[in-house]
Amino acid sequence: MKLHFRKYGEGFPLFILHGLFGTADNWNTLAKGYAEHFTTYIIDQRNHGQSPHSDVWNYEVMAQDLIELMDDEGLAAIYLMGHSMGGKAAMFTACLHPQRIQKLIVSDIAPRYYPVHHTEIIEALQSIPLHSIHSRKDAETMLEKSIPDFAIRQFLLKNLYWKDDQLAWRFNLEVISRDIEEVGKKLPEEWKYEGPTLFLRGSKSGYIQTSDESNIIKHFPQSKIITIQDAGHWIHAEKPMEYFTETLNFLK
């Protein structure tokens, strides 16, 4: 699949992957910082952003999408960074194609299985009658009933756009809803990536727990885990300078 992406800067290539319901735009500000050191690609993964929609959605095909993009851009190897779902996609890619990934950064997700915990968000999104509302404000009013968190609502509403005189979601809600179990899929037990790897977690997030550390080392023996204080799951958005400093130090 030909993924939509933006490219900034010069130097060794760095690919950045967003999380579930996200887009490449979520990383625009940080990407311009990385672009002072690397050729930085911010990428819309399949069924998200401006990349094509597909009925097939799992980490194996997400990994293949990245390899196809590398081949199209003439890149033998890259640095790869991903947050949440993007972090899991990055793990799969590194294990399946270790010779193509020189360094790996995983943001606030572990290799283990995660049970589905996006049901309320999906139901709230499905409840919005896009064919009959006339503005993003109408959608926000409806979402507010089920999603009281303002930041999460704004994050989701960034995906609304006008298509043929009707509002539509940029993400493929039908397929994501159907295959949401794929997001929590664990890394197969025997898979390993031997390259340098950095895991970052927020001190206020429960996504990477102490009990995950031995499993991380098993799959990524050359990894280290850094905790960003006073950050939740969206570390790069909540503590961008701390996140940038730690990741840049690792890559440089």
- How confident is the model over 42-83, as pLDDT tens digits? 999 999 999 999 999 999 999 999 999 999 999 999 999 999
- Does residue 36 surpass a pLDDT of 90? yes
Residue 18 and residue 44 in contact, taking contact as beta carbons nearer than 8 Å: yes
Read off the pTM.
Answer: 0.96
- How confident is the model over 5-19, as pLDDT tens digits? 999 999 999 999 999
- Determine what percent of the chain is predicted with pLDDT higher than 70: 100
Type of residue numbered 222: Q
Q: What is the mean pLDDT of residues 189-215?
A: 97
Type of residue numbered 220: F
Residue 137 CB-density burial (10 A; 0-12 exposed, 13-18 middle, 19+ buried): exposed
- Does residue 163 surpass a pLDDT of 90? no
What's the confidence (pLDDT) of residue 211? 96
Q: Which of 204, 216, 200, 212 is nearest to 248 (CA)?
A: 200
Type of residue numbered 245: T
What's the confidence (pLDDT) of residue 246? 98
* CA Rg value for the chain: 18
What's the confidence (pLDDT) of residue 145? 86
Q: Which of 32, 42, 39 is nearest to 6 (CA)?
A: 42
What value does the mean pLDDT of the chain take?
96
CATH 3.40.50.1820 maps onto the chain at 5-113+185-251
- Does residue 165 surpass a pLDDT of 90? no
* Tokens matching residue 36: 């002072």
- For the domain made up of 5-113+185-251, give the CATH fold: Rossmann fold (3.40.50)
What's the confidence (pLDDT) of residue 215? 97
- Which residues are known to be catalytic? 84, 174, 233
Residue 136 and residue 167 in contact, taking contact as beta carbons nearer than 8 Å: yes
